[in-house]
Every structure is written in C-alpha cells, then in structure tokens.
Structure 1
C-alpha cells in the first residue's frame, strides 16, 4: 500500500513539472503546421498565451496520480511475488530480468486507466483556442470545453471504445518503456548511490530518476507518435485504419524520422519530471513505510 500512495504523489508532482512541454510535444507530433519546437512554443503563446500550455491538465493530474499509483504499486507487488516464487523469500536482491518483467506488467495494467485520460489530454492539447475577448470567443467556440466534456463528446460521437483509440499503441509503448524505466533506474541508482556512500543518496536518486526517464522515453517515442496520431484521428474525419496503417502511412508521407518527432523534447522534459517523480516517491516511501509495517 505504501508504494501505491508514494507512486500517486510522485506522479502528480511529475505532471505539474512537465505538462507545458508535453503540450508542445503532442502538437509537434500530430500537427504539420509547426516547423520545430521553438516555432510551436512561440505560436502557442502568441495565439493562446500561457494557458495554452496547460490545456487539459486537470484530468492528467487526477488520473496520472491513479495510473502512477498503479504502476509503482503493481511493479513493487509483482517484484515481491516474483522473488518469493523464484527464491522462496521476497526480501532478496532481484535480478535485472525480475525488474524488467515487473515493469512490463506494471505498464500493461495501467493502460486500462490511462487510455481514456490520455485521449482527453491529447484532444484538448491539439485544440487551438485563441486567447481573445469575449466577443471573439463567442465567434469561435472550441469543440471541447474541458476534460469531462471531451470524454462525453467522444463517447457520443465515436462510441465507448472511442476512449480506447490507440490503446494498443499505448500498451506497446508503456510495456516496453516502463520495463526499461524501472530497470534503468535500478542500474543508475546502483551506480550513483553506492552502499558505502549513503550521504550522496539525494543526488543519486535525482540523477538516476532523470536518466531513467530519458532512456524510457527514447524507447517510447516512436510508438508515442503513433498513439497520439490515432487518438487525434477522427476529430474531423478518420484517416487511419489501425496501428500498422498509421505507421506505414506516416512513414510514407513524412519519412522514417516522423517516428522520432518530439524525441529531443521528450528527453528534455523527462529528465526533470522523473527526477521529481522518483525523489517524491522515495521520500514519501521513507515516511510511510514505518507505519505500514
């Protein structure tokens, strides 16, 4: 239970740190009107001001807390039971394969919760609403007025399973990225926080968390591009028939580098976000572990 609570708080803090760059990343991946990161940032600010970078954040704050709680909770419990099954006792140093498999399972489970929320987030982030006077806003009403309205509209127009558009791409992305995420964190933490130098633990956790996030997003970005395009598909008309069609059509139209759109931005965003996530997670865990035992 301690891991579920610590994971929820860590995830919420991470969202607040990385959301503006996440909005830029989604727009670059799904809209061809931007020539690069800086052009997207300037265009967003010019048309929508600061609020444009935080569109749809209320939904991720609540749902990422839940999905992050599930990820860390499932990971730790899966690792606990896997070690118990393999070695007879749970309190042993797990192998790298144990960590990888537990992370893979955690990524698969959390998709059930994260897919609808991620759908609403992407649709709201790609919806351009000019920041202007009341008279102007009356003339150009956005399609979605908020996260809940977005989810209800999707269900009305595309059916319940419209909330899970791109979920296979999301699952493929998250299974591999979370497996890599937890494995790389464990490896980096061993490097940066030697047992005999416990006084360097804080800096070690920050570096390990940040680098783990960068490695995980390097693995996840190609499928993240496809996931975002499938989620946006159908706002005006449906273009893609599925994951494979989206991949082949995107590569044919824009070249293979389209799969790496937003990679640099993902890595820049991932470092501070996951520094905060793991620092919060480890700190909360230290505080509540004595009460949970």
Structure 2
C-alpha cells in the first residue's frame, strides 16, 4: 500500500515566524540558561577542570542560586536581532541551489549552514562578549551597560567585537554540522505521513544535528569564551594548539556536557513552542494558512 507524504501548509508571514521564534528562544533561555553559566565557568578553568555537577553546586553554595541567571539579559535581547538576521542568513540556501533549480545535496546543505553561521556571528559577537563578562566568577560588573561602558573606555568602539574571529568559527562549524546532519538524517528516515511522524523525524534529526554541531564547535567556544573575558587578540587555531599542549585534548571540550544537556531539551522546547504558536497563528489567520 502506497504512503502519502504529509502535505506542507503555506508558510506563515515573516512577522509571525519571527514572533514565534523569538518567544520560543526566550522560553528556552529562561528554562535552561543555568547550563550556559555552568558551561562558561568550566571553559574558563585552566588546567584540570571541575565536573559539571560540582560547578553547579559550587555556584549555589558560594554565590547563591540567582548567580545561575547572571548575564541572561544580553541573550534575551539578542533573540530579536538574531531572528531578524535568520532571513538573510537563510537565503544562502536559495543562493547555493539557484532558488531551488539545483537539487540540494549534503555538501550544499552543509555549506549553507556554514555561511548562515558566518552571517549570524556578526550580530551575536557583542552580546556574547557582554554575557561572558557577566557570567565569570570574578565579574564585578553591575550589569550589561557597565560592561559596555568599560569596553568602550578600554578598547574603543570595536571593543565589543573582541572575539569576533573565534565567534565566526564557532557559528561556522556549528551551523555547518547542524544543517548537514539534519539533511543526512532526514534522507535516511521514511517520509512523514502524519503530523506526529513529522514531529518525531524533526526531533531526531535536530538532536543528531545539534550533537554533531556541538562536537565540532565546542573547541572554538572555549577559545571564544577566554578571548572575550580577557580581551586578548589570540587567534583560534593557534590558541587551540596551545590548549592541547597545556591542558590536553580534553581542554578543548570543557563545558561540553552542559552544552549537550541543554541541546536535547532545548531543541524540544523550541520546537514545541514554535509548533504551538504556529497553530494559534494559523487559526487566527484562517485560510489558506490552515
């Protein structure tokens, strides 16, 4: 008996996809942000690191539970511009496939992700710098504006872009691994014939893609975190070589556990919130979006 592929609904207008994505991103942040703080603390440790659970306990015992949410304002503020840049970043797919005239392949899907990540990194860098300097255990900044003022005073207008090169590589490799893996996994799965099956396929592909992307980009995340805290001009690849020499191969993967633990539930939260809001918006707009 032949199966029928699930019919795709007409895409929602940009304003609605923007809103659902931004709300989903903020929801995920509010729920799972403590894992990001723990990840940053682990990445800033030089030498033999402390385990994820112990870092979590230390923060609560020594600094209070509220410290787990220190620095959350910049990523919350980032959600809107990040969603806005998703449209031009996503247009790389149309460019590489000549607006759909050329068949998409694993190589093109990966390349699309890499260039989309590079575009995204331009917007992300200043917000990441502010966040890292607030998350540090030794941070004495009163808030985001204090970090910005200090950066302008000590490094000038481009001070907020310290770590741009490592942020570029972090997003380049994560998006490339993520989109390439999603394309590969979906190609191996049977075509969805129901909404439930489509959701399952997306969750599986997204989880695999996120794991691969995190595996590829964690070393550059470690470098980015250290460069942005200290304001050094160190380049990524020489910096990674120095980490391997002084801390071993494992030094490049500090903070990997909380990154991965945030990935699976985080991807699920994002997907569920987007799906729920999209359903509400489609009912509100009526045909032909239903």
TM-score range, shorter chain: 0.7 to 0.9
* 1:169 alignment partner in structure 2: 166
With 263-272 and 279-288 compared, the bigger mean Cα shift is at 279-288
2:94 touches 2:100 (CA, 8 Å); kept in 1? no
* 1:251 alignment partner in structure 2: 244
Q: Of 220, 225, 248, which aligns to 1:223?
A: 220
1:200 aligns with 2:197: yes
Aligned-residue offset at 1:61? 0.9
Aligned counterparts of 2:31 and 2:97: Cα–Cα separation in 1: 34
* 2:122 alignment partner in structure 1: 112
SS in 2 for 1:196: coil
SS in 1 for 2:251: helix
* 2:135 alignment partner in structure 1: 125
**CA-to-aligned-CA distance 1:245-279 (integer Å, 9 cap, x gap):** 43233222212220011222211111111222234
Aligned counterparts of 2:258 and 2:79: Cα–Cα separation in 1: 20
SS in 2 for 1:145: coil
1:107 touches 1:175 (CA, 8 Å); kept in 2? yes
SS in 1 for 2:215: helix
Q: Of 15, 22, 38, which aligns to 1:24?
A: 38
* 2:23 alignment partner in structure 1: 9
* 1:102 alignment partner in structure 2: 112
1:207 touches 1:275 (CA, 8 Å); kept in 2? no
* 2:149 alignment partner in structure 1: 152
With 102-111 and 180-189 compared, the bigger mean Cα shift is at 180-189
**CA-to-aligned-CA distance 1:39-79 (integer Å, 9 cap, x gap):** 211110011221111111011011134224423x2344332
- 1:149–1:261 CA distance, 2 compared to 1 (3 A): same
- 1:190–1:276 CA distance, 2 compared to 1 (3 A): farther
Number of aligned positions between the proteins: 271
1:56 touches 1:121 (CA, 8 Å); kept in 2? yes
Unaligned runs of 5+ in 2: 1-13
Aligned-residue offset at 1:147? 1.2
Alignment of 1:50-61 (within 5 A): 50-61=65-76
SS in 2 for 1:51: helix
Aligned counterparts of 2:29 and 2:208: Cα–Cα separation in 1: 17
Aligned-residue offset at 1:20? 0.4
Alignment of 1:82-93 (within 5 A): 82-85=96-99, 87=101
* 1:49 alignment partner in structure 2: 64
SS in 2 for 1:194: coil
Q: Of 258, 261, 265, which aligns to 2:254?
A: 261
* 1:74 alignment partner in structure 2: 88
Aligned counterparts of 1:19 and 1:193: Cα–Cα separation in 2: 34
